[in-house]
Amino acid sequence: MISCCRMRTGSAFHTYAGRVIVLIFLVVLVVTSAAGQAGAAPQRTPSDLPLDHWGYPLLERLRARGVLAIDLTTRPIARSAVRAALETAVGGSQVDALGAGWARPVLTARETWMLERLRAEFITGEIDAPAVSISDGQASLGFGVELSVLARTAQGDDSDEMSMDVLASYDLWGGFGDVVGFYSDVDILLHGQEGERVERVSGRARTWRGITAESEHAYFKLERPHFSIAIGRRGPAWGRSNHGRLLISGDAPTFDQLDASFSLGRLSFHALHALVEYTDTWTEDDLGDGLGDDLGDDDNIMIAGHRMVVAGDRLTIGLSELVVYSDITIDPVYLNPLVPYYLAQHNQREDDNIFWLLDFDWIAATGHEFYGEFLVDDLQYERYTENPDKYGVTMGYTFYGAPAGRFDLEFTAEYSQVRKWTYTHKRIEHRLEHDGVPIGFELGPDSDKVTLMAIAHPSPAWSIGAGYVSRRSGEGSIRIPFVKGIDNPDTRFPSGDVLRTDEVSLCLAYDGLDGGTRGSLELRWYNAFGCATDGWEIRAGIGFRI
């Protein structure tokens, strides 16, 4: 779905609405009572910006306009990195982020508002300030509560639906100075029972007896000027794309992982090792290829990745490598970020799935940003084989500015294409998927997407947006690998019967400077060719932080 607002919501509920409201009022009562006894918010300890944080769209614009110098291609971004970029931009030096030869742009009212809001959050700590905070010297602890309500009504050829989503969430953070920190958040929802409990290593939340509690972030972080190490549950995203990241998109649930980074000047290195939740599918027993499911009872699915980024004034280039493998324990070779994965497995681990990603972000002129990604799953250097090439491409352009001195405007045009059998593997459990969701491109293989979006800001806090998205999906699936003699390469794209969906949306959103209130109204129309369905949807939401 396209949207100019970014409301956090949970699953729908109907019969348990009263209990949710009672829970919310109890949380508000306890937190506000305690807040009356608490003092000013302490300085935040080392932590990151979650992928859905409100700050990312602001940072993207200010970087493209030459106001901030910060790498946004490897997420999550450390709070300390945002603070350092802001201190350079709003401090006494007033250094141009784009370097010599670039004239500092005249800030619009929206951009001035952006800088003030970012400064209030990352320098003075006023926006996402905790409801309760305690500090003792260098040690600090904070606790905040956020509430969101989203009403939705939809009508289509198949059914009509009305629902209301209510989410009560909290975040807890603390640590010691600027050296060690921890962060966690929990979303609490009460709604109908959906099924039995399932025991899994690193499993995701499931509804049980009408209660769902899910933690998407829970980690400890050691941070020093040139390196950091984090362990716990986090959500990474690699590459520069608004709607079509190809390797680690951030659309899948967060991972339980070990993460490390090292930076020196314009050069930075990143590495992660994470558990992947694997779910059985019918295809593993019904392909008829004799492969079956080779995952042992004690085996775990894991991913390992490392990334190098060179961040220049106008051009940022990233190169990444990722592997999906299974074993009882962690393979030390893949835990080592200095070992090239392909060379390590070339002579030893035939069944591991290796990926490469090349991405770039280029500011051609102030406010004009071009970006792209090229993913390689498997390119055949022996052209006489039946094996197909497996790759994906994303290209995009974004404009930020105020044409003719009028209200602010943002425009994005992006195209993504992923070929058939990309992300798949002959060992089906080694596909690039986590908890049933693609880790890479959201539509999976054998698909493409066109995105056009325009957002106008008549005043700093208000946004009016319009968007168009066209999606196509062929018969390929992330759960159906290429097998010689069973499925020959299909040169058409997309292959077989194609499902196409066109979607048009309009959005009105408000985002207060204090960060405590926000609201949105979105209208969406869609038409699906290939299954003869169409319909419309209206969403209205409000959220606030206590």
- Of residues 240 and 404, more confidence is placed in 240
How do strand 433-434 and strand 227-234 relate by DSSP bridges?
unpaired
Q: Which two tokens stand for residue 535?
A: 């319909």
Q: How confident is the model at residue 396 (pLDDT cuts 50, 70, 90)?
A: very high
Q: So what's the pLDDT on residue 343?
A: 82
What would the two tokens of residue 476 be? 């390929």
The DSSP bridge partners found for residue 46 are none
How, if at all, do strands 315-327 and 300-311 pair?
antiparallel
Mean pLDDT for the chain?
Answer: 82
Q: How confident is the model over 329-354, as a mean pLDDT?
A: 84
> What HEC string does 333-349 produce?
HHHCCCCCHHHHHHCCC
> For 130-276, where are the alpha helices, taking DSSP H only?
none
- Asked if residues 169 and 188 have their Cβ atoms less than 8 Å apart, the reply is yes
Instruction: Say what the pLDDT of residue 504 is.
Output: 95
Residue 332 pLDDT greater than 80, yes or no? yes
Q: Judge whether residue 148 has pLDDT over 70.
A: yes
pLDDT tens by residue, 4-56: 554 443 333 333 344 444 444 444 444 444 444 444 556 789 999 999 898 99
What confidence tier does 188 reach under pLDDT thresholds 50, 70, 90? confident
For residues 371-395, average pLDDT:
85
pLDDT of residue 423: 96
pLDDT at 158: 62
Do 63 and 70 touch, CB atoms closer than 8 A? yes
Residue range 373-389: mean pLDDT, rounded: 80
Q: State residue 50's pLDDT score.
A: 93
The predicted pLDDT at position 211 comes to 65
Q: Is the model's pLDDT at 165 over the cut of 90?
A: no
Cα-only R_g, the chain:
24
Report percent pLDDT > 70 for the chain.
77
Judge whether 446 and 416 are in contact, CB under 8 Å: no
Contact 109, 459 (CB under 8 A): yes
Establish whether the linkage from the previous residue to 494 is cis, with ω within 30° of 0.
yes
Using an 8 Å Cβ cutoff, are 263 and 78 in contact? no
Q: What is the pLDDT of residues 253-285, one digit of tens each?
A: 999 999 999 999 999 999 999 999 887 654 444
- Given the structure tokens 């490469």, which residue do they identify? 356
Q: Identify the sign of the CA torsion 155, 444, 396, 8.
A: positive
> What CATH number matches the domain at 17-545, 2.60.40.650, 2.40.160.130, 3.30.70.270, 1.20.1070.10?
2.40.160.130
Q: What's the CA gap between 474 and 500, in Å, rounded?
A: 9
91/473: higher pLDDT: 473
Instruction: Dump pLDDT digits (tens) for 212-261.
Output: 778 899 999 999 999 999 999 999 999 999 889 999 999 999 999 999 99
Whether the predicted pLDDT of 163 surpasses 80: no
pLDDT above 70 (res 412): yes
Distance CA 279, CA 291 (A): 17
pLDDT of residue 492: 80
Q: Which residues touch 444 (CB under 8 Å, ≥6 apart)?
A: 418, 423, 438, 473, 476, 477, 478
